[in-house]
Chain A
Amino acid sequence: MKHRTFFWFFLPTGLAMLLFIALPIVSVVTQSLFTPHEAVLVTVETCTPFKCTQETTIDQDATAAIREAEPLGRFVGLSIYFDRGHLAIAEVSEAWQTRASFGDFFNKLNNLPFYRAMGFTLAFTFIVTPLVILMGLVIALAVNTVHARLKGVVIFFSLLPFVITPLIGALVLFWMIDSRGILGTALQWMAGDPSLSLKASTGLMWISLMIYGVWHAAPFAFVIFYAGLQTLPMDQIEAAQIDGASRFQRLRYVIVPHLMPLVTFVALIQLMDNFRVFEPIVGFNASAHASSLSWAIFNDLGGETQQLSSAAATSVITIIGVAILLSPVLVRTWRDYKGKV
């Protein structure tokens, strides 16, 4: 295909991505270096015959004018990145110097909003992803033994948690796990503790958020692995069987290696998707116990005062995080590509 033809074919999609993905990234980076103008203060001296008083007030007109003239705000360099709401350099170094123990240090870190969000995001990503892969694999193996006529129905129901809107899925589960819901009541009964409530316990909240994560994504892994199971090399399995491999050994040494490329694929997609965990925190109303990077951005953007600069700085840090997560894949793809050319 000629360069010219390629250009015209690619123009619409390229333009859409340039205008609404690439430029916003530039805009986010710029925004994160500026902070809103402070209110313009005027000091007015009012004198009565007896004494003069000075009064400092906000000059509304001047403030509005300067905010109108420079909507980006004033340039503050990287200081937003280092403030208390983000990397909190000062607080972290103070916590490090005055630490009583490592536990104490991490406790202090956990009180800083950015590290709290980062902690949950990373924990969620690296706990849910392997569980999803494991769960998907077990479901695929089990469904593979189901009678052929029932498979359609089983796959239909299995797809539901994956296809459902994440916020709705989170709500539906949360309403059941809520202390007044059916699962919440069952938990109270099992623990013998009628006051047991999700809303009161950070640990329980984390666990249920992760259960949601696995519930939502397991069908995806299941469908991929199930498709992989349909292309199993039968001759290899039979050969292994003749060599006396047990059922488990066949699984471990023939089936799993056959599915390995799919495991890598699922892991890649899941790492990307779990890193952006956001809707369950809204749906579970979990912000008191867990927050994620995406949620922190959402929280800054919404509400009465839109903290664009703060949201932008968190966004940039998130994008860097995604880049770090993605880098092994990119390096591998690049090697594959160079190998092919």
Chain B
Amino acid sequence: MSSPANKMPVALRFASTVFVIAWLLMAAFPFIWTFWGSFKVELDFFSISDWTNAITGERTKETHGSAFTGAGYHGAWVEEGFLRNVINTFIVCFFVVCTSLTFGTLGGYALSRSGFRYTFWLLIAALIFRAMPPITLVAGYMLPFFQWNLWGILPTTIIVLVAINQPFTLWMLHSFFQNIPKELDESAKVDGCTQFQAFRHVIIPVMWPGVITTGLFSFLLAYNDFAVTSMLLSEGNRTMVPQIAAFLGTTQTEGNIMFAVAAVVSATAPLFVLVMFFQRQIVSGLTAGAVKG
């Protein structure tokens, strides 16, 4: 793109730069604003009198003597025990990622190595399952789970999230396994390995990039879920997202909305770190499906 013919006209170059900056502002500003506001009192963050109060924190100074206060965080973490919800979230995410990767690699490998017609139908079934809103299934879980006393506990939610995750995981790992040459496990089988040994000793060592990427998306699905966790977990077992919704539901007193703001910032932080370290994998995961389709 270095020839003069390819050089962008100044106006276009200017417009495109402005657009990129505008987009970055749109994408990042809400988070910066909320982060800043989480250290204020409610009357500053939601200021009726003067919007600049949200920046300078006039009311916060009056109430707490300084322009910044950790009252929201104190309320959420200490008074409301948000730590319990954070731990629940990470328990759920850990087990969902591990289980769905184990199930998914076995299934995805089988789908990519079997040439029979039913693999096509299984993938189509998975696509249909992927398209269904999870909340439509929840109506079907409620009655059996109540009957068998499974409702409200973490393991139930974990296995439900794993199952809802499977169609996506299968498609993604299937396309990753398609890219690993079949000759690799065939030569292992010629050397006398069984299919499982070929998988264990030949495929597993080379499949990690795909597995890590898929794992990231499984994590995001479990971490971000609201429909399933809010309906299937009892109050004591709530994960972060339904708890934030609960903070909103009880916003009769001052303070509580700021608990929600502080909790939102706390729940966003791990996602920031995740994107920072795994940006490349997330991008490659998003495009992996597209290249195939």
Contacts and interface: CB of A to CB of B under 8 A. Distances in A.
Interface of A: 1-3, 5-6, 9-10, 12-14, 16-17, 19-21, 23-28, 31, 71-72, 138-139, 141-143, 145-146, 152, 154-161, 163-169, 171-173, 175-176, 178, 180-182, 185-186, 215, 219-220, 223-224, 227-228, 241, 247, 261-262, 264-266, 268, 272, 275-276, 278-279, 282, 285, 293-294, 297-298, 300-302, 306, 308, 311-312, 314-316, 318-319, 322-323, 325-326, 329-330, 333-334, 337, 341
23 contacts: A2-B195, A16-B166, A17-B167, A25-B140, A142-B20, A160-B272, A160-B275, A163-B220, A163-B275, A167-B226, A172-B264, A180-B46, A185-B47, A224-B287, A227-B283, A262-B290, A276-B135, A285-B248, A294-B133, A294-B227, A298-B230, A333-B127, A337-B120
Contacts of A293: 133
Contacts of B26: 161, 215
A175 B46 contact: yes
Interface in B99-158: 102-104, 106-107, 109-111, 113-117, 120, 122, 124-144, 146-147
A185 B126 contact: no
Nearest to A1: B114
A311 B133 contact: no
Given A158-B24, A168-B267, A181 B46 contact: yes
Given A160-B27, A268-B293, A297-B136, A323 B128 contact: yes
Contacts of A159: 275, 279, 282-283
A83 to B, nearest CB: 16
A160 B26 CA distance: 10
Interface of B: 5-6, 8, 12-13, 16-17, 19-20, 23-24, 26-28, 30-31, 33-34, 37, 45-48, 51, 54, 102-104, 106-107, 109-111, 113-117, 120, 122, 124-144, 146-147, 159-160, 162-164, 166-167, 169-170, 195-196, 199, 220, 223-224, 226-227, 230-231, 241, 244-245, 248, 260-261, 264, 267-268, 271-272, 274-276, 279, 282-283, 286-287, 289-291, 293
